[in-house]
Amino acid sequence: MDLRLTGKTALVTGATAGIGLEIARTLAAEGARVVITGRDRAKLDSALAAVKESGGSDIAGVLADAASAEGAAIIARAEASVDILVNNLGIYESKAFGDISDADWSHLFDVNVLSGVRLSRTYLPGMLERNWGRIIFISSESGLAIPQDMIHYATTKTAQLSVSRGLAQLTRGTNVTVNSVLPGPTRSEGIEAFLRSQASDPSAPIKEVEAEFFATARSASILQRMVEAEEVANLVAYLASPRSSATNGAALRAEGGLVNTIA
């Protein structure tokens, strides 16, 4: 299926690895001009090379911390307007509620919530003026099913859903849409260390560790396995395309290729 992304410019934050990198690859392969952001020059250059290797021909990188007001300003100067904004930048950690400091709360909100707020505030007016655009927040199933050891992370993901839904209300009657994607646990850099930190036997083979995680911590999962980053990217590419014109204000749970409309 042609997703009709040729000629569109997409900005993807946190795209030097994991889900963000796969989203950038997929959008570029579909013909979009892709701009990715990153804080580390070496990682940014490596990601740009990876996107080129996968077939992307029109890509650019912006060296900036999208989680800071200064970084958002750098991005806005580098790209005055975009057609598609993918607010993917995010971090997570497992920590007992009593050990989560004020600084921890503030840091996760800066990275996971305010990064998307600032860039949406920058680019939404232009989308409305041109009467076309896509804003996509990469949230998490944790925004609805709150893990007891990640309450601060889950709260930021719930906040993203509120921001996304509120912005969608501002697009009423236009060809601009704002949606959220809620992946389950996704295979990416650092996930093995996280799974082992949850395991009864951290030294067990990774397949056993993963199976235990889904049997205990994610027993409600339908897939009972890690989601692959490219599976999330495929859903994002569809939402970014003109073909998703009737999908607005939705929170879509991504478990592999299956999607459940939540809102």
Catalytic residues: 153
Q: Strand, coil or helix: what is 46?
A: helix
Q: Strand, coil or helix: what is 83?
A: coil
Write the CA distances from 16 to 94, 100, 222, integer angstroms: 22, 27, 29
Please give the backbone phi and psi of residue 117, each rounded to the nearest 5 degrees, phi first.
-60, -50
Q: What is the dihedral of CA 178, 88, 185, 141, to 10 degrees?
A: -30
If 0-12 CB within 10 Å is exposed, 13-18 middle and 19+ buried, where does residue 231 land?
Answer: buried
Q: Strand pairing of 258-261 and 133-138?
A: unpaired
The answer to whether 123 touches 86, Cβ cutoff 8 Å, is no
**Which tokens in the block code for residue 184?**
């389950």
